[in-house]
Chain A
């Protein structure tokens, strides 16, 4: 069995809104080039994304919505016709062949699922996926089809496995949460900046699931300006308790890289340190609870020059038990991309220290996050204590 596969097809880059749009899958090239430069990724590791079928897309999305996406990508619809579906908006503009491009991102995640669930590799990574805001009948927050929701339904139908979905994007994983809100066989876990200001606004600790699914939705909203230590404390403690409570067959992680201080869209103050630790714990727990089965996808990440390539490389390195490098990034990579980058690249694997001015209310922010964690996990802890 292979240890890990890296799912990628150049055509995945066709999911592109515009030159100026913050979501840009050039991130994939930058990351792969960095990994190749340090000798951590070879052509044998890469498997192509496949195109998801319309039936697979319909595992989650409404046929009428799929129809709109197809027609919009062929230029057959007016903005009045597409806007009610969240398409042709400032966030999710129209682009040619958007259906086909989206199917390739979904297919990439399904490819990753098949490799892991058929025992062809222990872990699989599709950085092109992680479009967690997509709704059943509506595009939202740069996401057209929700590859993660579709992949989880696909795992349920084809492999009958229990899935723990772990979302460390700075935005709440709303699309995936609502898809499985009533479903007790999928547990969704999202740690994110509080929705008080940040999109999409949901992800409160009180969103715990509904009906049969009550108690299988977990949210850990962090205060704006949260730093590494508090982020990691919450992440580690929460994930350890939730995985032990839910006991999944497979771990599915969404690895948005937008909680970093540099990210223009969010207000968390994390550094590269969390991107070392997030996959490390996921990896450890996948072996402890899921016989190693771990599927990882990408997600947000809007500082594609300074943050995403370094952050996403660490997922692949962790999957392959390779040591996380320290010190200088390869000169060749820096020289090549500095010409295009509008900002000075960070020349080392670590961030500069200090990365930012001290946050005046740091202690209170940490205290509030800790209080949030206690409330969010109360449902598990009280069940444990009552001996059920």
Chain B
């Protein structure tokens, strides 16, 4: 999956001369946490986050009304040295960037122009799509030896039972480094015939998989 498939293309921006109050209003109105700052040519020159805005504003518990701060231009608070991404970046790489740089948003730039934005929310949406049940289905976890061809053997059995596989995930096995856990979502209410067949073929079926509890 690449960034252009998951990025938000309708980006709300402000200019460096807009005020903190403008940023606050836009964040509240659009329910967003990040605003890229662009110049007249739509070149990205900075970024302001809800965190920056909150840090800049006086505490709501303070009585004196220091309204001048609200009218300060954003350029005084925005982050100028920003990391940007490209529409062709892999989503996996974006996740790594967020993780390593401890950031939560990546403006996406192409041809010198801002074309989109990706945030942690977009990444989580992609994760939910990967792991969720979007069609009625059962999930079967199997512990597989780390060996060529085992997955094909498993799937041959699924085919034999006319089982429509909707998704497959492979995880490292925390208990045994010579094996992996594969998690298969299958459009089927009664997976018992498959499970029986898998066990007859010496596959270790974990169904369901709750550490410390064996069926």
**Contact surface of A with B, Cβ cutoff 8 Å:** 22, 89-91, 133, 140-142, 171, 174, 195-202, 223-225, 264-265, 267, 359-361
Contact = CB atoms under 8 A, between A and B. Distances in A.
A22 B188 CA distance: 13
Interface stretch (B43-51, B110-118, B135-143, B145-153): B135-143
Nearest to B209: A197
B133 A202 contact: yes
A265 B138 CA distance: 10
Contacts of A90: 161-163, 188, 190, 193
B185 interface: yes
Interface in B178-195: 185, 187-193
A280 B28 CA distance: 49
Contacts of A267: 207-208, 215
Contacts of B163: 90
Contacts of A195: 133
19 contacts: A89-B162, A89-B164, A89-B188, A91-B188, A91-B189, A197-B140, A197-B141, A197-B207, A197-B209, A198-B138, A201-B132, A201-B136, A202-B133, A224-B213, A225-B213, A264-B192, A359-B213, A360-B212, A361-B210
B70 to A, nearest CB: 30
Interface of B: 132-133, 135-141, 161-164, 185, 187-193, 207-210, 212-213, 215
Contact of B189 (A197, A200, A225, A360): A200
A267 B162 CA distance: 24
A304 to B, nearest CB: 14
B interface, by DSSP: helix, strand, loop or mixed?
loop
Contacts of A360: 212-213
A133 B135 CA distance: 12
Contacts of B210: 223-225, 361
A201 B133 contact: yes
A249 B162 CA distance: 44
Contacts of B187: 89
A328 B190 CA distance: 33
Closest 5 CB pairs of A and B: A201-B133, A200-B136, A197-B208, A141-B189, A199-B189
B132 to A, nearest CB: 8
A199 B188 contact: yes
A141 B136 contact: yes
Contacts of B136: 133, 140-141, 174, 199-202
A226 B133 CA distance: 22
B192 A199 contact: no
B129 to A, nearest CB: 13
B213 A265 contact: no
Which of B139, B162, B192, B210 counts the most A-chain CB atoms under 10 A from its CB?
Answer: B210
A201 B189 contact: no
Nearest to A172: B136
Contacts of B208: 196-198, 224, 267
A195 B185 CA distance: 11
Given A140-B189, A198-B138, A200-B137, 19 more contacts: A89-B162, A89-B164, A89-B187, A89-B188, A90-B162, A90-B193, A141-B136, A141-B189, A197-B139, A197-B207, A199-B137, A201-B132, A201-B135, A201-B136, A201-B185, A264-B192, A267-B207, A267-B208, A360-B213
Contacts of A91: 188-190
Contacts of B141: 197
Contacts of A196: 139, 208
Nearest to B162: A90
Nearest to B166: A201
